[in-house]
Structures are given as structure tokens and as C-alpha cells.
Chain A
Amino acid sequence: MALSNVLETPAAGFNFDNAARNAALEGLFDGGQTPKPLKTGTTIAGVVFKDGVVLGADTRATSSEVVADKMCAKIHYIAPNIYCCGAGTAADTEKTTDLLSSNLTIFSLNSGRNPRVVMAVNILQDMLYRYHGQIGANLILGGVDCTGNHLYTVGPYGSVNKVPYLSMGSGDLAALGILEDGFKHDLELEKAKELVCAAIHAGIMSDLGSGNNIDICVITREGVDYIRPYQESEYKDNRKMKYKYRPGTTAVLTEKVVPLKLEVVQETVQQMDTA
């Protein structure tokens, strides 16, 4: 019945099942370019304030130098009281946080308790260390539980830090400058939101891998306020010309029409009241 690794301890040692498969896949490309995983090239930040935790993230996902997604969601749901920002390889952050969320749900159904932030951190740390850094996920976990307001960071090799404020991603240095300058313990809610917003904004302006809008997630004892977007990008589309094409602009080379043979099996008529 047990489906999750919360109830079963995984096999000891490193799991390199996929290493042989990866080597074989690389052989398929014959020395050419292997597909690059989509990295989020991000700015994410978190701050612990008086009543809870504020998490913030930008919304740009890049595939090397091209913007792949202008409105991607980097703040992931883990539990009703725990959210996680992810930087690094997009697939890795998505799947890792999904897996973590499923495991914690099973745990809370089994035990009848709300999950604590430390549990989420420990499960993540175990998993990322087991994969020896091959899962490229840099995560900021924030949440409020019965023991208080917590903010943790988990690195791709499994390192954990418990901190009152931090930022991760390619724009982390720009954001950290703002956080270092403006952070105080026990900030008020509005001040904390402004601080995180300013930190992400600094990342967006200085870092080429971050951009577009800012998402904010406020977690308190009362509940969660996921504001997406908290601040829209100030750059609007101001193109002057219209780029519309008349029907028939694209050349039709061949046309094949396959009629669908339909049989009327049942007919019902319903009067519409058009009075």
C-alpha cells in the first residue's frame, strides 16, 4: 500500500541507474549538440517577517539566450503552509517539488498532523544528496508551522541553510544587496513585501536571466496569499504597425477533403425561450 519513500527507506548508496542511459543518449547525437535542459536563470528571494514568511520570484524562463516563458510560475505549492521557490533546471525544480508535495500529503493523511518545514527540508536534502548533484535544483523553502516561521535553502548537492533572509538564482547577488541593506528582524507585512519586491526588481534589472513580472507569496498562520503577479512589468507592447494577414495569404499547394460519414442516431429538439 505504501507508495512513497516517506514510508520506505530507499536503498543505501548512490543510484546511478540513469548514467548508462544518458551515455547511450549522448551517443545518438554523434558528437553534435545534445539538448540543453531549460534553466530558469532566475531571481528568487525569501524574508522572514513578524507574522510569517514572504517569498518572491521573477517570471522569466530562459533556454540559453532565448526567453522561453515570460510568465512562468517559480513559486511551487508544497503544503497548505509551505511554499517553495525553485531556481536551476526547470524540470528538476518542478518534479522535485511535486514529489515533495505528494510525500508530505501522504504523511499528513497517515499521521493526521500538518507537515513541518523541517520535514520538507530533510526529505529534499536526502533526495538531492542521493543524486549527487545531478538534479540541478536550488530551492528556497518557506513556511509557517506550529514551531514558528521558517526559511531554508537547499542546494543541488544537498546542502541546507536556515536563514532569516536570502536569495538564489543567477540574479541572487543583485537581490542580496537590497536584502542586506533593508532587512531588519520582525518587519511588518507591507514593509516585508516591499523589500522582497525591491530585491527581485534589482535582480530583474541587473541580470539578463531574470525579467518580466514579480510574483509574491505571503505565508502566515492565518493562511497563504499567493499574489501572481504582484507587480507587472512596466514594459508594454508599443509596436505601431499591425501585422495581420488576410485569409489566403499562405499558398495552398494541395488540398484533400475527407468527408466524415455520420449517421443520425437520435434527434432531440429543445425549444429556446427567446422572449
Chain B
Amino acid sequence: EFTRLNLKHDPGKMKEYHYTGPVEHRFSPYAFNGGTVLAVAGEDFAIVASDTRLSEGYSIHSRDSPKCYKLTDTTVIGCSGFHGDCLTLTKIIDARLKMYKHSNNKSMTSGAIAAMLSTILYGRRFFPYYVYNIIGGLDEHGKGAVYSFDPVGSYQRDTYKAGGSASAMLQPLLDNQIGFKNMEGVQHVPLTRDKAVQLVKDVFISAAERDVYTGDALRVCVITKEGINEQTIPLRKD
């Protein structure tokens, strides 16, 4: 008696495990392709780093798909989330950069690119680009700048920011090591470029241990007034 009553009053409970009636399938325009990006701003440098794994569900599409894209000589953007939208968004930004250069006879500054990206993203407020962006570069005064975004265009300038699938694991570590948060009696030494690069590498090695979507290799772009220097180091492949 109890069993029959249960099923009649609560068919929704059984739906999870069994097909009980017609099921409506909706086409989802988004997919989650994983990946983690990270940017750090220093006194006269900026670092943008990303892993190179492209995944979907439990499978790997590619082990060599970096998520850092060079925009100008002083700016790099890291995009993670839905790969289709990442590609389209970077194409749109490239086109807008060219248009600006041809009209204004100069390259866009990092701050200007950030402001422009915010309006591009908000333009699609009701069908967003499923992309987590972080821009890293040098500002007009030659100091390091990091701008972090949400998928619909809200942004702010930071000293350091992690985005993507392992962001929740990386951000607290950066808060502690770069922001010196939650530490007493520690000297606030400004970050040198080499120490920052080493920290970024270590932090990604840790993320690859515990996040299944992060791994394969790490691409680090170091931006200084001399130019953009790229390094690739291997990470866990399993």
C-alpha cells in the first residue's frame, strides 16, 4: 500500500532513475571545455598563464590548446569556458583592435581594451559569451595591469586573478602568497619577475593534482616593455 501511494504522489522522485513518461530534450548551445587561466601584475611586468588542455565531459579533445591570446605588444588575454565562444570573442577583439588602429593611428592601451571588452560582453547580455576573461598587460605608465571579467562584462582592475575551472583552488593561494593575506609579521616584499613566474608554475602544478580539467602543459606569457616572452612547461597528463 505504502509503495503504491508513494509512486502516485511522487512520480518526480522516480524520474531521476527511470523513464516514466515523455522527456523533453533541449539543445544546449553551450559546452564546458575546461581550462584555467591566471594573471599577475608586477611593478614593471605582467604574467598571463593558462593550461593547454581542452576537454569535454570526461574526454580530452586536445592536449595542446593554449588559452592565452596575444592582442597587442603589451597585452595578452586569457579566455576559458566554452571554446567556441573563446575563439569568436578573440576574433571580434582582434577586428576591433585593427579598426581602432586604423582610425586613431595608435594601438589600444590595456585599459582601453578592457573597457571595450566590457561593452562587447554586455552587448550579449541575454545570450552571453560563456567565457571567463582575464586581460594582463602593461598600462600607459609601464606598470603591470590585470583586468578580470565575468561572462557578461563586469570588470575590475586587480593585482592578480585566477579564472576558469581551478580558479577556486588557485585564488586563495595567490591571496596568501602575493597579497600576503592572513599572515602576521611577514614582510610585504614586492614580487620580482622570476619569483612570480616560479609561483605561477608551482600553483598550476598543484591545480593539476586536484582538478581533472587542468593539466597536460602550462603556457606562461611574460609581458615586459621588451616584449612578450612565452614558455611552455609540462604538467600531469592523467
A241 CB contact (under 8 Å) in B165, B182, B199, B236: B199
Q: How far is the CB of B35 from chain A (nearest CB, A)?
A: 12
Q: Is the CB of A208 within 8 A of B17?
A: no
Q: Is the CB of A240 within 8 A of B165?
A: no
Interface residues of B in 198-212 (CB under 8 A from A): 198-199, 201-202, 205-206, 209-212
Does any Cβ of A come within 8 Å of B15's Cβ?
Answer: no
A248 CB contact (under 8 Å) in B60, B177, B184: B184
Interface residues of B in 47-62 (CB under 8 A from A): 55, 58-60
Q: Tell me the complex Cα distance, A20–B2, Å.
A: 10
A19 CB contact (under 8 Å) in B6, B206, B210: B6
Interface residues of A in 175-216 (CB under 8 A from B): 204-212
Of B177, B184, B195, B198, most A-chain CB atoms within 10 Å = B184
Chain A interface, number of residues (Cβ within 8 angstroms): 42
A167 partner residues in chain B, CB cutoff 8 A: none
Does any Cβ of A come within 8 Å of B125's Cβ?
Answer: no
Does any Cβ of A come within 8 Å of B185's Cβ?
Answer: yes
Say whether, besides A23-B10, A41-B58, A235-B237, A249 and B210 are in contact (CB < 8 Å). no
Q: Tell me the complex Cα distance, A240–B206, Å.
A: 12
Q: How far is the CB of B56 from chain A (nearest CB, A)?
A: 10
Q: How far is the CB of A72 from chain B (nearest CB, A)?
A: 14
A106 partner residues in chain B, CB cutoff 8 A: none
Nearest residue (CB) in B for A208 is B212
Nearest residue (CB) in A for B169 is A66
Q: Tell me the complex Cα distance, A70–B205, Å.
A: 15
Contact with B along A216-245 (1 / 0, CB 8 A): 000000000000000001010111110101
Interface residues of A in 247-264 (CB under 8 A from B): 248-251
User: What DSSP secondary structure best describes chain A's contact surface?
Assistant: loop
Q: Tell me the complex Cα distance, A239–B165, Å.
A: 21
Contact with B along A137-177 (1 / 0, CB 8 A): 00000000000000000000000000000000011000000
Does any Cβ of A come within 8 Å of B213's Cβ?
Answer: yes
Q: How far is the CB of B135 from chain A (nearest CB, A)?
A: 25
Q: Is the CB of A233 within 8 A of B205?
A: no
Does any Cβ of A come within 8 Å of B189's Cβ?
Answer: no
Does any Cβ of A come within 8 Å of B3's Cβ?
Answer: yes
Contact with B along A1-27 (1 / 0, CB 8 A): 000000000000110100110110000
A245 partner residues in chain B, CB cutoff 8 A: 183
Q: Tell me the complex Cα distance, A47–B237, Å.
A: 26
Q: Tell me the complex Cα distance, A205–B55, Å.
A: 13
Does any Cβ of B come within 8 Å of A80's Cβ?
Answer: no
Q: Is the CB of A238 within 8 A of B205?
A: yes
Contact with A along B162-190 (1 / 0, CB 8 A): 00010000000000010000111110000
Does any Cβ of B come within 8 Å of A133's Cβ?
Answer: yes
Nearest residue (CB) in A for B205 is A239
Q: Is the CB of B210 within 8 A of A66?
A: yes
Q: A67-B209, A211-B238 are in contact. List 8 more A-B contacts (CB 8 A).
A: A19-B13, A23-B13, A66-B212, A205-B238, A208-B55, A241-B199, A245-B183, A249-B184
17 A–B contacts, CB within 8 A, in A order: A41-B58, A67-B209, A67-B210, A132-B17, A171-B58, A205-B237, A208-B60, A211-B236, A211-B238, A233-B238, A237-B205, A238-B205, A241-B198, A248-B185, A249-B183, A249-B186, A250-B182
| Closest 5 pairs between A and B when the two form their complex, measured CB to CB | A211-B238, A239-B202, A208-B212, A235-B236, A204-B238
Residues of A within 8 A of B (CB): 13-14, 16, 19-20, 22-23, 41, 60, 62, 65-67, 70, 132-134, 170-171, 204-212, 233, 235, 237-241, 243, 245-246, 248-251
Residues of B within 8 A of A (CB): 2-3, 6, 10, 13, 17-18, 55, 58-60, 165, 177, 182-186, 195, 198-199, 201-202, 205-206, 209-213, 236-238
